[in-house]
């Protein structure tokens, strides 16, 4: 029976990949986690399958990585572990480079030494394109990151390329455009919005003045998809005859403001915008009660903004037969419904 090592299994993508592989393969799955004093295993608490087990490994410790790869000699190694919040990468640039780039180097070296037939995937990002040269972005777009996070992912891409070409490893890194879902961390803008909407619904139901959601650049345009659709694309990348990197995207772009509007609509809350668009004074107001529901806080502006990300995944659709199944509207509705349900459960 084949073995798959997945890092970052307690996060959004890693946990969805475990679910996908348990459903679609008969492989053994090793999920690696750092040893923490207070483990956060919420995203994998539902998994009871005996083919899934946890192993302690720190991607920042090369000896730890070596030991894990040497012990399990995996057929596949899927790296979803990373510092993945763009906003904090300016505050902790060294940490992002260590985990997002050096961690990849440690993994590839361990695979080269102990499991050279292993197929390796590293999670890339559309943030590698950054200050975009053209729209939409495809596999030929130059790497022009605008954040320490984007730079760390672009650096990792070069490491993957060099180890693939130098040692003949099956190693790929996909450009995954923004992908969200019910397991997305609450610090990310999409989950911040949907959880904020659920909190506002709860406040209004208790006849309390709601606390508004504080956001940064409402005009930023992103290409959003469902994370559950993307893990299938990652698996298809890992099972080609030859290793190739692909863009995965919805091929649509929407503003943060659009996400806000759809999220409140999904919760059946009507509102309207006041103030000049794109300014600190812009606010989304409850139609009936005139409560501010969304306000702009300058502390959430980034030192260098990526104004638009729009992917062109036509190559992946043609060559590996992948395409997203969930529309932008259905994604937002699913996330809001999940947070509303969680909010109701906690209030009981």
Catalytic residue (choose from 126, 127, 128, 155): 127
Among 15, 64, 84, 125, the active-site one is: 125
- DSSP state, residue 178: P
| CB-based contacts of 315, cutoff 8 Å, min separation 6 | 138, 139, 246, 247
Alpha-carbon distances, residue 138 vs 53, 100, 301, 338 (angstroms): 37, 22, 27, 33
- Of 149, 170, 246, 291, the active-site residue reads 149
Query: ∠ CA(128), CA(133), CA(135), 5° rounding?
Result: 90
Within 8 A by CB and 6+ apart from 137, the residues are 126, 129, 175, 247, 309, 310, 311, 312
Cis peptide before 136 (omega within 30 of 0): yes
- R_g (Cα) of the chain, nearest Å: 21
Query: How far is it, in rounded angstroms, from Cα 45 to Cα 41?
Result: 6
Q: Are 228 and 125 in contact (CB under 8 A)?
A: no
Q: With H, G, I as helix, E, B as strand and everything else as coil, classify residue 247.
A: strand
Residue 230 and residue 242: Cα distance in Å, rounded? 20
Tell me the sheet residues that pair with 56.
Answer: 33
Note if 125 is an active site residue. Answer: yes
Is residue 127 annotated as part of the catalytic site, yes or no? yes
Query: Helices (H) and strands (E) in the chain — how many of each?
Result: 10, 15
Dihedral sign from CA coordinates of 128, 314, 335, 287: positive
Identify whether the C-beta of residue 20 lies closer than 8 Å to the C-beta of residue 49. no
What are the residue numbers of the active site?
125, 127, 149
């Amino acid at each position: 029976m084949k073995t798959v090592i997945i890092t970052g299994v307690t996060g959004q993508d890693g946990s969805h990949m475990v679910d996908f592989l348990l459903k679609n393969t008969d492989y053994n799955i090793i999920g690696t986690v750092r040893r923490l004093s207070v483990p956060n295993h919420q995203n994998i608490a539902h998994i009871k399958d005996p083919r899934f087990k946890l192993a302690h490994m720190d991607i920042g410790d090369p000896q730890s990585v070596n030991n894990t790869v040497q012990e399990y000699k995996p057929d596949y190694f899927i790296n979803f572990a990373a510092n993945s919040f763009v906003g904090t990468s300016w505050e902790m640039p060294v940490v992002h480079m260590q985990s997002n780039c050096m961690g990849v180097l440690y993994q590839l070296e361990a695979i080269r030494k102990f499991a050279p037939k292993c197929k390796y995937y590293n999670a890339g990002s559309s943030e590698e394109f950054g200050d975009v040269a053209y729209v939409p972005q495809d596999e030929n777009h130059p790497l022009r990151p605008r954040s320490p996070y984007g730079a760390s992912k672009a650096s990792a891409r070069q490491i993957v390329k060099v180890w693939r070409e130098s040692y003949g490893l099956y190693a790929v890194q996909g450009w995954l455009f923004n992908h969200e879902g019910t397991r997305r961390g609450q610090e990310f803008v999409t989950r911040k919005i949907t959880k904020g909407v659920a909190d506002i619904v709860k406040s209004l139901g208790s006849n309390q003045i709601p606390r508004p959601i504080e956001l940064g650049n409402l005009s930023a345009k992103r290409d959003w998809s469902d994370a559950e659709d993307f893990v299938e694309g990652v698996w298809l990348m890992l099972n080609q005859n030859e290793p190739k990197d692909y863009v995965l995207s919805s091929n649509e772009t929407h503003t943060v403001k659009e996400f806000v509007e759809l999220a409140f609509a999904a919760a059946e809350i009507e509102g309207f915008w006041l103030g000049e668009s794109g300014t600190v004074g812009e606010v989304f107001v409850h139609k009936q009660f005139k409560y501010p529901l969304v306000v702009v806080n300058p502390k959430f502006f980034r030192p260098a903004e990526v104004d638009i990300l729009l992917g062109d995944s036509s190559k992946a659709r043609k060559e590996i037969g992948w395409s997203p199944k969930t529309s932008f509207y259905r994604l937002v509705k699913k996330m809001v419904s999940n947070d509303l349900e969680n909010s109701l459960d906690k209030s009981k």
